[in-house]
Structure 1
Amino acid sequence: MSAANGPTGHVVVVGGGISGLAAAHRLLAGGARVTVLEASARVGGKLYAGELAGVPVDLGAESMLARRPEAVDLARAVGLGDRLRPPATATASLWTRGGLRPMPKGHVMGVPGDLAPLAASGVISEEGLARIAEEARLPRAELTEDVALGGFVAERLGREVVDRLVEPLLGGVYAGDVYRTSMRAAVPTLFDATRAHGSLTEGARALAARSAAAQAGPVFTGIDGGIGRLPLAVADAVRAAGGEIRTGEPVRLLRPAATPGGSREDGAARWTVVTERGEALEADAVVLAAPAPVAARLLAADSPAASAELAGVAYASMALITMAFRRADAAGLPQGSGFLVPPVDGHTIKAATFSSRKWGWLGEADPELFVLRTSIGRFEDEADLSRDDDDLVRISLADLGRATGLAARPVATRVDRWQGGLPQYPVGHLDRVTRIRAEVAKLPGLRVCGAVYDGVGIPACVASARAAADELLESMAATLARGAGRGE
């Protein structure tokens, strides 16, 4: 829908993360007037561009899927097309069994389709490899309903592959417990392939072969200067198109306007959005692009069922420890982009990224510095997050030393804590989302979007936002058409 023939109603977007900004961008392109209300002092949410030792760094998410188009298309639309850059290296390792071992190829989120590279990596023991091979003699896998990924993979292939491969890989995405994570929600392609082939390994092999055949370009991409530049560029585009963005503006109350049925006589839904400062904004429609606890609070009065479902969404917290070293001091680090850490090995960090090696623009920003970062914290394993920043740096350095031999001290450090940063997708999550959306649909002129609903990755968030925006644009256009038909 173009601005030339689109609706002219006012839409308030609650939440200025990438989902809310993407929704605002789409709504403006469709002709709506838009106000974005963000509770924090900045836009971007978990996409956060910062600086350490004078070089730009990502302090939140650092990459996005390149083979899914939504986020890449948005980046191009806001003028970042020429700044998209794939990783300089994407070769990662696993810190397990006392050393760094190459990440085996031919797997789908840790589920192996080919045992040869897995055996060569040394990640899985001989007994573990034999257990995986036994799946060929098991009865056909009948997936008639959602299951926990960890439990299902352990049942078919043994716990070792779960604990040393699936857990660290999935943990890097959700910071969650793979033994509770929904297979259908977290890895839907593997769920479908396993159901079609009746075998996990056959399903993974088919997916890996399909991916190899369709491979065109990198799996992930970043942005020169950091992925955190994306929400800033989207925000600039929103303002340039006439949209208003207010930061430091939490929303206290959301209610239908005080008219019969909460609607105007022309049938358009009408909402009042009340800020913490007491300002009341009138809106023809509202997009809730806020985390589940905020959405639950705002929907409590008008959609108690949706509110209760949202209140049941759990979140994981984590910390990112970013450190800058003199490049000469980091020269002995192993090759590759970094490593993942299986929780079963008992270490504190769950991953380390050699940022200056992974992203070429970092090295160009300061050739004398080497930036890396670690992450700490998993769902219901967050005790270490109560430590102070110096302790988290010390713990990270100790684990890095054990894993890589790094003994140097950083010249600068920074700790960023993401409290309640990642929604969890347990078994039944997709059914929960369906119920939430069914209840929200009963409230004309209201839609929800974000990481809670359709995936935690950036493309999934953008897709969720676009769907919400398009539904509201269509609804407002239909309302205008009805009014025009009545000669209003």
Structure 2
Amino acid sequence: MEGTPAPRHVVVVGGGIAGLAAALYLRRGATREIRITVLEGAPRIGGKLHVSEVAGLEVDAGAEAMLARRPEGKELAGLAGMDDMLVYPGTTHASILSRGALRTLPKGQVMGVPSDLAALAASRVLSPGGLARVALDRILPPTTVTTDVSVAAYIRARVGGEVVDRLVEPLLGGVYAGRSEMLSLQATMPQIAAIARTERSLTQAVGDVVAAVPKDAGPVFTTLKNGMGSLPEAVAKASGADVRTGVTVRELVRIPGGWRLVTGPTRDEEIIEADAVVLAVPATAAARLLRREVPGAAAELAGIEYASMAIATLAYPRDAFPVPPSGSGYLVPPVERRPVKAATFSTIKWPHLAEADPGVVVVRCSMGRLGEEHVLQRDDAELVAIAVSEMADVTGVRAFPIDTRITRWGGSLPQYNVGHLGRVARIRVATSIQPGLAVCGAAYDGVGVPACAATARTAAAQILDHLAASEPRAAAGAANDPKG
């Protein structure tokens, strides 16, 4: 139609779940037609959400679940038409491999911080001396915390080192693959940080937090029947975006009215122009792209460290176990000095997998923490052997798996070290003054799917506000013309 302006063009750099979610929120929030392009450097979309076959079962190779009590993840699945695919764990009973034996994760804890001393004693995770030290929390004077500190610094001061080493470390390690001596209390454990600012007794305040959870709160986690790895394709389809894989963005340059993106090899580069850009890539890549136009944000992003990990997925005949595994799995404290940091009994945790083949037990063994890169330098066969040895030692299984898979996630988990929230605030201030630029992803406010979806929604809203404020005058005039 003559006089109708061309659709505005938004480019999303990064085809992980945050970038795809941003594309979907852009599409749903736009008040008039926009063109959305998603550029992903890898051969596939989805980032750490990926599913592949093991022993004939579709098993996640990356993140296998998302928080159910935080709404953004389930809402994203609903927008992608996957409401009816959400399923929940058959068991949430988990253990800690502590002092050489599997021990029940004590009830009444929040990210490893205990509140019920009787349950803690019954679990036998701590030594008698460690248990006695926890009890001192109720009589010690307040530990004043006015600035961000490490997780270990505050929790050790209140309840002792054994709680940090044998409960907090393995739980945090399962999320960040990091170290409590470095991780930010405010960024990784906000409930505990709030307690640190206002309460005297940590264990008593954690008890109040536990008691405040409604009895009908529902499961903590959820997944999709075809695996979390099935979510990215559904979100991409629902977004209606032009999704291009194998396209690496090398430069991002501010131009009048928008942005220029340079992609492809130097001898065959492609120029893409956009009215607005969403950067949904890891911090290292974002720092590289912003170095020219937003050097302050680039410097802050470059300071975010990343940890690597690998997952060995093993499929066994069910009758190979002398006693079938029970519970959802177990965590391993670093002080145990074992290469496997966690094991999930996937076909026990997720009934839909067991129903697909009742004769198979699938186990996922996670390896690698920050500073343990030497573990991951071994080849796939060695990592399989480590995982098989772990299962033999812990469960007594003697048969070799009928199928295995090694998945490596190099530099995939951002470390929310002390001062992280301030760093993120500075990044957002620096990028917000650049018209038509927003950032989102796991580097900022949380590493799970709901947190990534939340950052994507915020980024999309910023871009849509910019597009609305910068509508061409011809379009604004047409909108005000009573003749239409």
TM range, normalised to the smaller chain? over 0.9
The residue that corresponds to 2:8 in the other structure is 9
Q: What's the secondary structure of 1:37's corresponding residue?
A: strand
Counting only pairs closer than 5 Å after superposition, residues 186-201 of structure 1 correspond to structure 2 as 186-201=188-203
Structure 1 counterpart of 2:295, one-letter code: P
Structure 2 counterpart of 1:344, one-letter code: V
* Per-residue Cα deviation, 1:192-245 (whole angstroms, up to 9, x for no partner): 13323232212211111112x26421010011021111112111212xx3x100
Pairing 1:249–2:247 present: yes
Residue 18 of structure 1, CA deviation: 0.4
Counting only pairs closer than 5 Å after superposition, residues 42-441 of structure 1 correspond to structure 2 as 42-211=44-213, 213=214, 215-238=216-239, 241=240, 243-257=241-255, 263-264=256-257, 270-277=258-265, 278-330=269-321, 332-441=323-432
Structure 1 counterpart of 2:376, one-letter code: L
The residue that corresponds to 2:24 in the other structure is 25
Cα distance 1:328–1:347, how it changes in 2: closer, same or farther (>3 A)?
same
* Per-residue Cα deviation, 1:361-412 (whole angstroms, up to 9, x for no partner): 2112222221111011000112110001111111111122222212221011
Residues in 2 aligned to 1:74 and 1:487: alpha-carbon distance in whole angstroms: 35
Structure 2 counterpart of 1:197, one-letter code: E
The two structures have a TM-score, normalised by structure 2, of 0.94
Residue 92 of structure 1, CA deviation: 0.6
Q: Which runs of 4+ in 1 moved over 3 A?
A: 481-488
Structure 2 counterpart of 1:231, one-letter code: P
Quick check: 1:193–1:206 contact (8 Å CA) kept in 2?
no
Quick check: 2:138–2:204 contact (8 Å CA) kept in 1?
no
Residues in 1 aligned to 2:85 and 2:115: alpha-carbon distance in whole angstroms: 35
Residues in 2 aligned to 1:237 and 1:331: alpha-carbon distance in whole angstroms: 47
Quick check: 2:322–2:397 contact (8 Å CA) kept in 1?
no
Residue 141 of structure 1, CA deviation: 2.7
* Per-residue Cα deviation, 1:326-348 (whole angstroms, up to 9, x for no partner): 12113623310110001101111
Quick check: 2:305–2:415 contact (8 Å CA) kept in 1?
yes
Q: What value does the CA root-mean-square deviation take over the aligned residues?
A: 1.6
Quick check: 1:354–1:371 contact (8 Å CA) kept in 2?
yes
Q: What's the secondary structure of 1:320's corresponding residue?
A: strand
How many pairs align?
Answer: 469
Residue 304 of structure 1, CA deviation: 1.1
Residue 430 of structure 1, CA deviation: 0.6
Residues in 1 aligned to 2:328 and 2:321: alpha-carbon distance in whole angstroms: 13
Q: What's the secondary structure of 2:471's corresponding residue?
A: helix
* Per-residue Cα deviation, 1:466-485 (whole angstroms, up to 9, x for no partner): 00001110111122286655
Quick check: 1:111–1:166 contact (8 Å CA) kept in 2?
yes
Residues in 2 aligned to 1:197 and 1:434: alpha-carbon distance in whole angstroms: 26
Residues in 1 aligned to 2:152 and 2:7: alpha-carbon distance in whole angstroms: 49
Structure 2 residue runs without a partner (length 5+): 1-5, 480-484
Residues in 1 aligned to 2:474 and 2:107: alpha-carbon distance in whole angstroms: 59
Residues in 2 aligned to 1:82 and 1:254: alpha-carbon distance in whole angstroms: 40
Quick check: 1:193–1:207 contact (8 Å CA) kept in 2?
no
Residues in 1 aligned to 2:138 and 2:356: alpha-carbon distance in whole angstroms: 51
Q: What's the secondary structure of 1:296's corresponding residue?
A: helix
* Per-residue Cα deviation, 1:260-315 (whole angstroms, up to 9, x for no partner): xxx33xxxxx1111111411111000000000111011001111111111111100
* Per-residue Cα deviation, 1:1-52 (whole angstroms, up to 9, x for no partner): xxxxxx9421100000000000000001123320000000111101111111
The residue that corresponds to 2:441 in the other structure is 450
* Per-residue Cα deviation, 1:144-167 (whole angstroms, up to 9, x for no partner): 111100121111111001100000
- The range that moved more, 201-210 or 180-189, is 201-210
Structure 1 counterpart of 2:230, one-letter code: R
Structure 2 counterpart of 1:62, one-letter code: E
Q: What's the secondary structure of 2:422's corresponding residue?
A: helix
Residues in 2 aligned to 1:244 and 1:484: alpha-carbon distance in whole angstroms: 25
Residues in 2 aligned to 1:383 and 1:483: alpha-carbon distance in whole angstroms: 61
Residues in 2 aligned to 1:331 and 1:357: alpha-carbon distance in whole angstroms: 16
Residue 91 of structure 1, CA deviation: 0.6
The two structures have a TM-score, normalised by structure 1, of 0.93
Quick check: 1:196–1:203 contact (8 Å CA) kept in 2?
no
The residue that corresponds to 2:482 in the other structure is none
Quick check: 2:249–2:262 contact (8 Å CA) kept in 1?
yes
Residues in 2 aligned to 1:91 and 1:103: alpha-carbon distance in whole angstroms: 8
Structure 1 residue runs without a partner (length 5+): 1-6, 258-262, 265-269
Quick check: 1:194–1:204 contact (8 Å CA) kept in 2?
no
Cα distance 1:118–1:483, how it changes in 2: closer, same or farther (>3 A)?
farther
Quick check: 1:333–1:405 contact (8 Å CA) kept in 2?
no
